Structure 1
C-alpha cells in the first residue's frame, strides 16, 4: 500500500498499497503566499477540506485493514476452502477500528454533498465496504482471540469464512479505486501549488521539498509493482535523485532556512534512495530471490529483503512521515 497525503501528504506495504501522500505543506510563512489552487479548475476551500478528510481517513484506516487481511491469509492455507481445523498455528486477525470507520462514514456523507464527483462516489463505496469488513473482522477477531474455535471444532470459523473473504475482496477492490481517485485529485492540487510556489518564491526549500516528494511518489508508483520497466524506473529515480541533491545542496548553503526536522527528512531521503536503487537493480538485472530471501518474504520480515517491494515501500512511507513531521 502507499503512505500519507497533506496536501502534500497510501500506508503500508500491502500488495501495492502505500499510504496516500498528501503533498508536503510548505512552512507557515510560505503558505501565506500561496494562491488558491488553480487549473484546470480552482479548488474551493470546501473541496480542499473534503480531500484532506478523505486522505486522513484513508491513511488512518486503510493500512490496518490490509494488515488484517494479510494476517488471515497467512495462516488459512486454502482461501477457497477456508480453515480446515487442522492448522498448526491460528493467528486470527488484526482489529479494524469500527468507531473510526463510523466517524469517517459520517464525514464522508457530509463531504459528498459538496460538488459530488468521481472521488465522492469512490469514497462512499470505499467506506461502506470497509464498514462491512470491519464488522466481520471484529466478530472473527473475538472468536479467534478468545480461542473459541477450540470449543466448536472451527464450526463458526468455517461458517464465517465465505462472507469474510467476500468482504475482503470487495474492500480491496474499492480501496484500489479510492486510492487512485485520491491520488489523481491530490496530484492536481500539488502540481498547482508547486507551480505557484516556484513562481512566488523560486526554487527555495519549500518548493524543493514538495518537488522531491512529488518525484518520490511518482517513483514508488513504478517500483512498488511486482514488475516494471527498468529503464522507465531508472529515469524516474534519476529525477528524484536530482531534486533530492538540489535540496540537500540548498540547505547546506542556506542552513538557517531549514526547518528543525530537515536532518530527519534528509536521512529518510537517503534511505529511500538506497532502497529504490536496490529495487531497480533487482528488476533490471533479473536477480532472483534466494531461498533465504523467500523465507523472509512474508508479513513482518519482507522489508528486510534487499530489492523487495516491501523494503522500498517501507522506506517511502518513512519518507512521507519525515516530510510531514517538518510541518507539525
Structure 2
C-alpha cells in the first residue's frame, strides 16, 4: 500500500483539462468586414465542452479525496480506528454548485450529444451521492471523532462510500472517454475555423501547441494506468515537437505573438524527452522510473494551460 505524504497536494499534481475557445472567440474584438464569421455550430459545441470540462476539473478533487482515504484504510473491512495513517483522513471538496448548474444547462442545449449528455447526467448524480459522504467523513476524521466511538460512524460511512465511490469513478471514466472523442473532433474543427478566418495566426499556433500537449498528457502514466504505451507516447511527442516548429515559423514574422508560452513550451519538450528516456529503460513502467520528472511535467503543463488561456483571452 502506497502511503501519501501528509502535505500531498494531488490537485496540483494532476493535469488540468484545457477548455476550448468558445468564450475566447466570443470575447475577441470584432472581426474586419472582409473576414468570415465564426462557425456558430462549432461555438455551441465548444460552449458545451467547456461546461463539461470545468465540472470535470473541479470535481477531480473528489477523486483525490477518495484516493487519500483508500491509501490508509482497508477497503474490504473498513476503518478500525487504529490505522497507522488514519489522521490522513480525506480532502475537503470544492464548492461546485456553479459548475454543476452550467453542466446541467449544457446537457439540454444544442448540439445534442446523446451518449455524452447521458453520461454527464449520471456523473452529476453519482457526484451528488458521493460528495456529502466525503464531506461527513472529512469532518469525522479531521475532528478525530473515531476516538470517541471506536470508528463506528467511520464504518457506517465506509459502507456507503465504497459503492458510491465505485459508481462515481465508473461514471467519470465514461464521461472522460466520450469527452476525449468530442475534444478530438472539436480540436480539428476549431483549428480549421481559426485558420479560415485568420490564417495560421498567433492564436492558431497557441491552440495547436496546447492541443498537441494535451495529447501527450492523455498518455502520461497514472495510478490506474502506470505502464505507458511507448510507441503512442513517442508519436504524441513527435506531434508536439512539430507544433513547436510551427510556432518557430510564427516567430520569424511575429516575434511577440507566441512569447507568452514560447519558452515554457520548449522547456516542456526537453523534459518530456528526458522522461521518455527513463521510461524506455524500464519498459514504460512509471513505477520504476521515479516521480520527480512526472510531477514537473504535470505541474508545468498546468502552468502552460493558464498561460495559453491568458494569451488567447487577450485577443489578436
The TM-score, its normalising length taken from structure 2, stands at: 0.80
Once the 2 structures are TM-superposed, how far is the Cα of residue 316 of structure 1 from its aligned partner? 2.3
The verdict on how the C-alpha distance between 1:313 and 1:44 changes in structure 2, with shifts beyond 3 A counting, is closer
Q: 1:318 aligns with which of 291, 297, 303?
A: 303
The verdict on how the C-alpha distance between 1:107 and 1:250 changes in structure 2, with shifts beyond 3 A counting, is closer
Establish whether residue 210 from structure 1 lines up as the match of residue 195 from structure 2: no
* Unaligned stretches of 5+ residues in structure 1: 1-10
Give per-residue Cα distances to partners, 1:79-131, cap 9 Å, x unaligned.
2222232223321111123x524x44444443333335111101111111111
Once the 2 structures are TM-superposed, how far is the Cα of residue 207 of structure 1 from its aligned partner? 1.2
Asked if 2 retains the 8 angstrom alpha-carbon contact of 1:215 and 1:236, the reply is yes
* RMSD (Å), alpha carbons: 3.0
SS at 2:96 equivalent: helix
- Report what 1:170 is aligned to: 167
The verdict on how the C-alpha distance between 1:152 and 1:267 changes in structure 2, with shifts beyond 3 A counting, is farther
- Report what 2:151 is aligned to: 154
Once the 2 structures are TM-superposed, how far is the Cα of residue 173 of structure 1 from its aligned partner? 1.2
The verdict on how the C-alpha distance between 1:205 and 1:125 changes in structure 2, with shifts beyond 3 A counting, is same
SS at 1:85 equivalent: coil
* Unaligned stretches of 5+ residues in structure 2: 1-10
The TM-score, its normalising length taken from structure 1, stands at: 0.77
Moved more, 270-279 or 185-194: 270-279
The verdict on how the C-alpha distance between 1:226 and 1:275 changes in structure 2, with shifts beyond 3 A counting, is farther
Establish whether residue 56 from structure 1 lines up as the match of residue 54 from structure 2: yes
Asked if 2 retains the 8 angstrom alpha-carbon contact of 1:23 and 1:214, the reply is no
Structure 1 Cα separation of the partners of residues 76 and 153 of structure 2: 16
Q: What is the correspondence of 1:38-187 to structure 2 with a 5 Å cutoff?
A: 42-43=41-42, 45=44, 47-59=45-57, 61-76=58-73, 78-89=74-85, 90-97=87-94, 99-101=95-97, 103-114=98-109, 115=112, 117-187=114-184
The verdict on how the C-alpha distance between 1:53 and 1:23 changes in structure 2, with shifts beyond 3 A counting, is closer
The verdict on how the C-alpha distance between 1:105 and 1:196 changes in structure 2, with shifts beyond 3 A counting, is closer
Asked if 1 retains the 8 angstrom alpha-carbon contact of 2:116 and 2:179, the reply is yes
The verdict on how the C-alpha distance between 1:125 and 1:88 changes in structure 2, with shifts beyond 3 A counting, is same
Once the 2 structures are TM-superposed, how far is the Cα of residue 164 of structure 1 from its aligned partner? 1.0
Once the 2 structures are TM-superposed, how far is the Cα of residue 140 of structure 1 from its aligned partner? 0.6
